[in-house]
Amino acid sequence: MHCADNIGMGKGNKKKKEEKKTSKYLLPNVDVTKMPGAMTDMHWNSFQEDLHKDATFHLAKNAICNVPVAKVAVKREEFVKIHQTYSVHLPENKISNQKSSGRCWIFALLNCLRYDAIKNMNLPNDFELSQTYLHFWDKVERANYFLEGMLDNLDEPLDSRLMGWFFTGFWSDGGQWQMLLNLIDKYGLVPKHIMPETASSINTGAMNQAFTQKLQDFTCQFRKMHAAGASIDQLRAEKEKMMKVIYRIAAVHLGEPPSEFALQWRDKDKKFHREDSMTPREFYNNFVGVNLHDYVCLIHCPQKTKPFYKTYTVKYLGNVVGGNPVKYLNVEMDVFKEATVKQLKDDMPVWFGCDVGKYLDRTSGINDATMWDYESVYGTNYTMDKAERLDYGQSLMTHAMALTGVDLDKNKNPVQWRIENSWGDTSGDKGFYSMTDSWFDEFMYGVAIHKKYIDKKYLDMLEIEPVVLDPWDPMGSLA
C-alpha cells in the first residue's frame, strides 16, 4: 500500500513539473530594431569595441568602481592652491548648524546680523539669534500666503502648471532675502536661548509633511465650498479656522514664540546686564539695529530672456501677505563683484545665494569650477555656459551662506572667497568654506548689498516697474 502510494505521488509530482515547464513565460519574439531611433546589438558591440581600445577607460572604470568619482577626478595641482589666508578677512563667530533642515537662508542672515548683536551687547562669539523663531513665523505666514494663492486661483485647473507648482514647488524650508525682511519687519528677533531648537526644527521632514497634507486638504475644502456657491468672504472666514490649525501644528513642532521676554547676560568684560521685559521687535531695534531696507538684492543672471540692468520679481514668491515683494536688480558680474568686495572691505558680511552642490568637495569645503577633471573620466566635454545651464535646468540657486572674506591679488582682483556656512564645524576649515573666483563667476546668483556700495545709476533702476517672472523661473528658486 505504501509503495503504491509512493508511486502515485511520484507520478503526480512529475505531472506537475511538466505543467510548470510548459507554462514558463517566454519573452515575445518582437523585433524593435527596425524602428527609427532604436539601438541595436550592432551599436552596443561597436561602443564596447571602442571602449576596449581606450586605455583611459580601463583606468577610470577600475578606479571609480572602487572609489567615488569626485575623488578620482580631482586635480591635485588645483586642490593644493586653495589656502585659508585672505587679504580681507572679517572677525568670525562660532559656526552654526542647520542640521537636517532647509533653513540656510535664515541661518545666513542671522549669521550676518549677529555681528551687530555681538558688538552691541559685547558678547562672546558663540552667541546666536534664534533661527527657530523666524522659522515658526515663516511657516505660519507662508501657509496663509499659500491659502491666499488658492483663493486667487479657485477656477484654475488642478492639473495646470501653476497648481502643480503650488503643490510641489511652493512648500519647503527654503526662502529668499525679501522674505527674511518681511519676517523681521513684522516680528523682530530673539536670542537663540529664548526660542531654542527642537527635534522638528533640526529635522523638518515630518513637520513639513503635516503642513503639506493640511494645506492640500484645505485647498480641497475651498474648492468644494466655491463650487457650492460660497462667497470670498465666507471662504476667508473659513480660512481663519484653517490658520488656527496651522498655528497649532507649528506650535506643536517648534514651540510657541514669545510676545515678550526678559533678558540678562554677562558680557565679555564680566559686566552683568538685565532687561526685565521687551518684545522681539524691541530687542531687534535696541540690540541689532540693522535697517534691512537699506539693502538691495543683486542677481547675476545672463539668460537672454533677462536683460541686465532691469528689475525682476517672481509671481507668488513670498511668505507674508502684504509684505515686501521679491525684487531683484540684474547686473553684470563686474558690478556684482565690485559691490560685494566693497561691503566686505568695510567689515560687513554679505548674505548670498548660490548653487552650492556644483564642484564642491564637502570634506575640505572647497568650491572650485576647475578642480575636477570629469571630462577625462567620462571622455566627453561639457559645453554649456552659465546662461545655458539656467535655460536647461542644470543650475539654479540652492543654498544661502555668508561671505566673510576675500583674497585680492596685487591688482585688487578677487582670487578666492571665504564663506561662513551653516553645516556645523566638521567640514571645511572648522565649518568655513572656500570659493575660488572662477566658481563665483559660474555659480553665484544673488547677494544682498547695502545701497551705499551700489552706484546711484543702478539704484535708480529699482524705481522702474519690475518684470514679473513665472513662479517656476530659475530666479524664483528658494535657497
* The pLDDT of residue 15: 52
Q: For 283-327, how does the pLDDT look when each residue is reduced to its tens digit (9 = 90+)?
A: 999 999 999 999 999 999 999 999 999 999 999 999 999 999 999
User: For 159-167, what is the mean pLDDT?
Assistant: 95
Contacts of residue 184, defined as CB under 8 A and 6 or more positions apart, other chains included, come to: 134, 284, 292
389: β partners: none
Q: For 241-286, how does the pLDDT look when each residue is reduced to its tens digit (9 = 90+)?
A: 999 999 999 999 999 999 999 999 999 999 999 999 999 999 999 9
* The pLDDT of residue 176: 95
Name the region of 38 (left: φ>0; alpha: ψ -120 to 50; beta: rest). Answer: beta
* The pLDDT of residue 171: 83
* The pLDDT of residue 3: 44
Q: For 347-378, how does the pLDDT look when each residue is reduced to its tens digit (9 = 90+)?
A: 999 999 999 999 999 999 999 999 999 999 99
Instruction: Give the residue among 356, 351, 366 at the shortest CA–CA distance from 447.
Output: 351
* The pLDDT of residue 170: 82
CA distances from 52 to 28, 63, 67 (A): 32, 16, 21
Q: For 191-230, how does the pLDDT look when each residue is reduced to its tens digit (9 = 90+)?
A: 999 999 999 999 999 999 999 999 999 999 999 999 999 9
Q: In which band, very low, low, confident or very high, does the pLDDT at 16 lie, cut at 50, 70 and 90?
A: low
Lowest mean per-residue pLDDT among 76-80, 135-139, 339-343 = 76-80
Alpha helices in 199-231 (DSSP H): 205-227
Q: From CA 115, how far away is CA 121, in angstroms rounded?
A: 10
Catalytic pick among 93, 153, 182, 421 = 421
Contacts of residue 79, defined as CB under 8 A and 6 or more positions apart, other chains included, come to: 361, 364, 366, 371
Q: Is 104 a catalytic residue?
A: yes
Q: Is 421 a catalytic residue?
A: yes
Cite the beta strand spans of 30-117 per DSSP E. 88-89
Q: Is the pLDDT of residue 2 over 80?
A: no
Q: In which band, very low, low, confident or very high, does the pLDDT at 30 lie, cut at 50, 70 and 90?
A: confident
Neighbours of 77 (CB within 10 A): 8
Q: For 390-446, how does the pLDDT look when each residue is reduced to its tens digit (9 = 90+)?
A: 999 999 999 999 999 999 999 999 999 999 999 999 999 999 999 999 999 999 999
Q: From CA 402, how far away is CA 86, in angstroms rounded?
A: 15
Catalytic pick among 104, 112, 301, 354 = 104
* The pLDDT of residue 314: 97
* The pLDDT of residue 24: 79
Q: Which three cell numbers stand for residue 419?
A: 564663506
**E strand or H helix at 354:** strand 350-354
Q: Is 399 a catalytic residue?
A: yes
Instruction: Give the residue among 293, 330, 341 at the shortest CA–CA distance from 451.
Output: 293
User: For 167-191, what is the mean pLDDT?
Assistant: 94
The CATH-assigned architecture of domain 88-476 is: Alpha-Beta Complex (3.90)
Average model confidence (pLDDT) across the chain: 94
* The pLDDT of residue 169: 79
User: For 328-345, what is the mean pLDDT?
Assistant: 98
* Chain centre distance of CA 225: 35
Paired sense of beta strands 328-330 and 295-299, if any: parallel
AA letter at 428: G
Q: Is the pLDDT of residue 10 over 60?
A: no
* Residue with more model confidence, 87 or 18: 87
